[in-house]
Amino acid sequence: MVDSNNPESDAGLFTVAVIGAGAAGTLATARLLAESAASGRRISVALINSGADVGRGPAYSTMCDAHLLNVPAGKMGADPENATGFMDWMSDRGRPVAATDFLPRWLFGSYLGEHLSAAARRYSKTGSVRFLRARAIGISDLQDGVAVHLADGRTVRAGGVVLALGGFGPSREWVPAELAGSAHLINDPWDVDALDSVPSHADLLLVGTGLTMCDVALASCRPGRTVYAVSRSGLLPHPHVMPLVSPLEMPLPVGASSLRDVRQVVLRHVVRSVRATGDWRPAMDGLRPLTTKLWQRLSDRDRADFLVRYQRVWESHRHRIPPPTSAALAGAVDSGELEVNAAEIVQARPERGRVRVWLSNGRKLEVAAVVNCAGPEYDLNKVDDRLIRHLLATGLARCGPQLLGLDTTDDGRLVGADRHRRVPLWTIGSLRRGNLWETTAIPEIRGQASQLARTVLGCI
Ligand SMILES: Cc1cc2nc3c(=O)[nH]c(=O)nc-3n(C[C@H](O)[C@H](O)[C@H](O)COP(=O)(O)OP(=O)(O)OC[C@H]3O[C@@H](n4cnc5c(N)ncnc54)[C@H](O)[C@@H]3O)c2cc1C
C-alpha cells in the first residue's frame, strides 16, 4: 500500500517523515511545524514510531516515581530559547516547582507529548502531523524525495527524512556464551514484566554500574533480597550536590588539540573550579558547550585512546544522578541490599532456577536473574535492527567516527558510502555520537531539533 502523503500530489506542500517519536523526534516535529509557519510554507509531517507514546521513548516511559530526571527542571524546556518551559508547564498545571528540582521522568514525557499537541494546534493553518504506529525497515532514494518502507507493508513518501531512532539496546559483548540464550538473562533493562517475573526476594545481578543500573536497582532493591552490581570500574555516577552551583565557563583553549593537551587544559580548569567553588562539578558543566569542539579536534587515535582510558571516568562525572537517587542507593548499600563490585564476569552458568556467577574479584554469586545494564551499543555493526542494516547495506549511511553511531555532516545530514551522493536524510541525537560526542541529553537535542528544522526546510 502506498501512503497518500505523496509529495507529487501537492506541489506547494513540504513533506517530511520523522522516524522515532521519543524526545528527539517529538522536538524535531514541533520545530518543523514552527519553522514552516515562520517561513509561510505548508508542511505535512509523518511521525513514524514503533515504541511507546509520543515524547516518551525508554527514558520517559517509566512510571516509577523514583526514576528522576538527572537534569534539574529549570533546564529541561523543550525550546532552546526557553529553558524554563518545563517548569512553566508544571506551574500551569498547579504544581509550581523550583528550577533546581529533579522531577519524575514520566512527567517530562507527558510534557513533551503536550508540547507537540500544542504546536500542532498552534500551527494548524500551515502544518499537520500524521502519527503512524509502525516500524520503519527501509528507505529508498527516489528522484524527487524518499520512500520509507514500514514493516506492516505501507510506504510513506516524503521530501526528506529525519532519523530520530534514539539509542539501541545494551551492549551484549560481555555476555558469556552459556548465559546468552538463557531465560535467566534479562537483556532489556526496561522490560518491567521481565523484572517483575523474578520472585520478589530472589537475588539479582545487574551488569553495569551506570545510570541504567541505578534505575534498575532503585526499582529492585528491597529487604530480603541482595542486588549485586558489577562493572570493570565499579564506578557509580557521581551525584549532583545542592545547592547547584553555576557552570564555570572556560574559553576554548587555543592550540590544544592532542588528548594530552586537552587533558591538561581540562585538569587545570577543574583545579580552578575547586579553588573558586570548592567543587569540580562547575568545571564539568562549564566544559559542556566546548565538548564537541574538543572532541572534533582530536585525531582518530586520540579519540580511541580517550575511549579506552577515560570514557568511564568521564561518564561517571558528566552524567550525574539527582541527590535523592544517590541517597537511596547509598542507603541500599549501607543496608546490604545493594553490593557493588569492581570486577569482570569470569563465568556464568545457568542451572535450574538460578545462575551461578564467578567474578574476577573472587566473589561467587547465585542469582535468579542477570540484568543487562551495560551502556547502549553505539557500534551499529553489532546492532540487530532492520532499518540500520538496510541503511548500511545500501550505502545510504555509514558508521560514524570510532564506530559510534552514523557519520553525519555538521548539519546532521547522513554521510553515505558515496560522500557526494546527497540524499535528503538527516539524523538527531545519539546516532551523532561519533561526530559530536555530547549529543544525548535534552539541552543538546533541543538545539539540534531547532537547527535541523531550518536545515531540512531549506533543503527539500
Ligand atoms: C533511562 C534514561 C534516562 C535519561 N534521563 C535523562 C534526563 O533526565 N535528562 C536528559 O536530558 N536526558 C536523559 N536521558 C537521555 C535521553 O537519551 C534523551 O533525553 C532522550 O530521551 C533521547 O530521546 P531520543 O528520541 O533520541 O531516543 P528514544 O527516547 O530512544 O526514542 C527513539 C524512538 O524511536 C523509535 N524507533 C526506533 N527505531 C525505529 C524504527 N525503525 N521505526 C519506528 N520507530 C523507531 C523507538 O521506538 C523510540 O520510541 C536519559 C536516557 C535514558 C535511557
CA distance 45 to 228: 46
Nearest CA to ligand 1 atom 51: 59
Residues paired with residue 372 on neighbouring β-strands, in sequence order: 207
For ligand 1, mutation pick of 165, 190, 212, 285 (most atoms within 8 Å of CB): 165
- Please tell me the predicted confidence (pLDDT) of residue 264: 96
pLDDT computed for residue 381 by the predictor: 96
What pLDDT sits at residue 52?
A: 78
Contact 229, 263 (CB under 8 A): no
7-169+378-459 and 177-238+323-372 share one fold: yes
The closest of 412, 400, 423 to 447, measured between CA atoms, is 412
Distance of CA 454 to the CA centre of its chain: 23
Burial class (CB in 10 A: 0-12, 13-18, 19+), 63: exposed
State the distance from the centre of ligand 1 to the C-alpha of 52, rounded, in angstroms.
10
Separation of alpha carbons 237 and 214, rounded Å: 9
Query: pLDDT value at position 11?
Result: 65
Among 138, 163, 142, 141, smallest CA distance to 152 is for: 138
The helix/strand/coil state of 308 is helix
Residues (pLDDT < 50) of the chain are 1-9
Distance 313 CA to ligand 1 centre (A): 23
Atom 38, ligand 1: residue with shortest CA distance: 165
pLDDT at 7: 46
Q: How close is the Cα of 183 to the center of ligand 1, in Å?
A: 26
Residue with cell 506492516: 152
d(CA 153, CA 24): 25
97 dihedral zone (left: phi>0; alpha: psi -120 to 50; beta): beta
Which tens digit of pLDDT belongs to each residue from 78-121?
999 999 999 999 999 999 999 999 999 999 999 999 999 999 99
Q: Which CA distances in Å does 335 have to 222, 223, 227, 444, 451?
A: 10, 8, 11, 38, 48
List 186's β-bridge partners, or say none.
371
Q: Ligand 1, residues 431, 442, 446: which to mutate, most atoms within 8 A of Cβ? A: 442
25 CA: nearest ligand 1 atom: 25
Pocket of ligand 1 (CB under 6 A): 19-25, 48-52, 57-59, 69-71, 135-136, 164-167, 211, 215, 387, 429-430, 440-442
Domain boundaries, the chain: 7-169+378-459, 177-238+323-372, 259-318
CA dihedral sign of residues 192, 87, 443, 102: negative
Give the closest residue (by CA) to ligand 1 atom 30. 166
The closest of 186, 54, 70 to 114, measured between CA atoms, is 54
Calculate how far, in angstroms, residue 165's C-alpha sits from the geometric centre of ligand 1.
7
Predicted confidence at residue 2, as pLDDT, reads: 34
Structure-block grid coordinates of residue 459: 533543503
Q: Which of 50, 133, 211, 378 to mutate to test the pocket of ligand 1 (most atoms within 8 A of CB)?
A: 50
Q: Which residues face 49 on adjacent strands?
A: 133
Closest ligand 1 atom, CA of 60? 21
**Cβ pair 16, 159 in contact under 8 A:** yes
d(CA 86, CA 108): 7
- Res 388: pLDDT: 98
User: Whose C-alpha lies nearest to ligand 1, atom 46?
Assistant: 51
Ligand 1 atom closest to residue 134's alpha carbon, by position in its atom list: 43
The third-level CATH classification (topology) of the domain covering 7-169+378-459 is FAD/NAD(P)-binding domain (3.50.50)
Which atom of ligand 1 sits closest to the CA of residue 167? 30
- Rounded CA-CA distance 399/180 in Å is 26
Q: Which CATH architecture has domain 177-238+323-372?
A: 3-Layer(bba) Sandwich (3.50)
From the CA of 58, how far away is ligand 1's center (Å)?
Answer: 6
CA of residue 378 to ligand 1 center, whole Å:
14
The type of residue at 433 is R
pLDDT of residue 256: 84
Distance CA 71, CA 100 (A): 9
